[in-house]
Structure 1
Amino acid sequence: MDHVRAFVGLALPQSCQEMAGRLGAALAPLCRGRLSRVRTGQAHITLKFLGETPVSGPAGIEAVGEALGGIRFAPFRLNLAGGGFFPGQKRPRVVWAGLREGAQACRELAAAVDAALAPLGIAPEGNPFAAHLTLARIREPERGGDWPAMLALLTQALWPPVPVAAMTLWRSVLSEHGARHEVLREFPAAAT
């Protein structure tokens, strides 16, 4: 194994994992095509997707970990609320929950991750960062679904607040049952 599929993000507590699971189960019957829910325990907020990353070398996982270890950030709080579709409601591919609180702190942390990894030759994201929690992927959007009812479910969901005390570097292992995320390294927030 000379590469790992990796990303940087924020872990979510069990209460959010359970809520994501319940929402995913409620969304599934509203989609006429296949809908793949995020597995319980795998829900997270992505700060940067790295993709296939060398295990060693100047832009390898160890160098990435060292660069991320230099980022200083204060603990903050997230509160999920609402949501929507990527790329949009006309032909949705991804159903996501948004943030009512903590979006600015996530943007700043994502920018710090980009800045820390740029000297390794890892390019910043091309699109503006939008903090979100992916709940499900719509595999056959052309078959349609009750998109307004999905949006109503997202709007009505009451998420527990999330204290963010660390950032995580994960390895994502793909299988026929979906992705499984393994923690490679955690980076705690600086004490205030």
Structure 2
Amino acid sequence: MARLFLAISLPANIKEQLKGIQEDLAQSRAQVRWVRPEGIHLTIKFLGEVPEEKISEIISQIEKVLQKLKPGKLHFKIKGLGVFPNPRSPRVVWAGLEGDLATLARLKRQIEEAFVPLGFPMETRAFVPHLTLGRIKSSKRRQALMEKINTYQEKEWSLPEPIEVEELVLYESKLHPEGAIYIPRKRFPL
């Protein structure tokens, strides 16, 4: 069995800048488990535990979707910080995206539909492209964290560098006490 997900990886310089944002937010001393910067990514589809013999079918379906859709390179910019599910009871701190979101949504929908025959249910929640920066563990100092996030929202924060996405990556996630390690299993050029 392999714990798999399909995602868009980010360039190292973008991850480094997001690390700086995490460090700034961490000054709130809120109880947040921050995602290791090297692990920040944009999830397209979480598959969970998959038998090894099913992985070739998954790869084939992804290739079919990309051949049919031909999305080409995707361009994004990281803009805005927020929380899920809402500011009153936040559980996840995220950075938002702007750019080729319509193409990304079509790609996501096509992937979802292609995986149904393989036994993976369609995601019922609306697709909100985001980068998870941290998971809030308790309400301790949560207000201080929200005040920090609000300062970014007030100045309409964004990273100046655009991101050009040239591939999707099928990752295997290996869980460790210090956090998950993501191992690329297959890369799919766009």
Could you say whether these structures have the same fold, taking a TM-score greater than 0.5 normalized by the shorter chain as the test? yes
Match of 2:129 in 1: 131
Distance in 2, Cα, partners of 1:88 & 1:184: 34
- How many residues align? The count is 183
Distance in 2, Cα, partners of 1:46 & 1:148: 27
Match of 1:150 in 2: 149
Q: Indicate which of 21, 35, 38 corresponds to 1:38.
A: 35
Distance in 1, Cα, partners of 2:59 & 2:29: 39
Q: CA 1:169–1:159 in 2, change beyond 3 Å: closer, same or farther?
A: farther
Measure how far apart 1:31 and its partner are. Answer: 4.2
5 Å-filtered alignment, 1:44-55, equals 44-55=41-52
- Are residues 1:183 and 2:184 paired? yes
Letter in 1 for 2:44: L
Distance in 2, Cα, partners of 1:102 & 1:41: 23
Question: RMSD between aligned alpha carbons?
Answer: 1.5
The answer on whether the counterparts of 1:19 and 1:159 sit within 8 Å (CA) in structure 2 is no
Measure how far apart 1:102 and its partner are. Answer: 2.3
Measure how far apart 1:128 and its partner are. Answer: 1.1
Unaligned stretches of 5+ in structure 1?
none
Distance in 2, Cα, partners of 1:120 & 1:143: 44
Letter in 2 for 1:65: I
Q: CA 1:53–1:150 in 2, change beyond 3 Å: closer, same or farther?
A: same
Letter in 2 for 1:148: E
Match of 2:162 in 1: 161
3-state SS in 2 of match to 1:41 = helix
Q: CA 1:51–1:153 in 2, change beyond 3 Å: closer, same or farther?
A: same
3-state SS in 2 of match to 1:70 = helix
Letter in 2 for 1:62: S
4+ residue runs of structure 1 moved beyond 4 angstroms?
none
3-state SS in 1 of match to 2:180 = strand
5 Å-filtered alignment, 1:24-103, equals 24-32=22-30, 34-56=31-53, 60-72=54-66, 73-103=71-101
Distance in 1, Cα, partners of 2:139 & 2:56: 39
Distance in 2, Cα, partners of 1:159 & 1:182: 29
Measure how far apart 1:143 and its partner are. Answer: 4.8
Measure how far apart 1:23 and its partner are. Answer: 0.9
TM-score normalised by length of structure 1: 0.89
**Structure whose residues are more often helix by fraction:** 2
Letter in 1 for 2:134: A
Distance in 2, Cα, partners of 1:127 & 1:78: 22
Task: Give me the identity figure in percent.
Answer: 30
The answer on whether the counterparts of 1:54 and 1:61 sit within 8 Å (CA) in structure 2 is yes
**CA deviation string 1:84-124 (max 9, x = no partner):** 10111111111001112122222111111112211212111
Unaligned stretches of 5+ in structure 2?
none
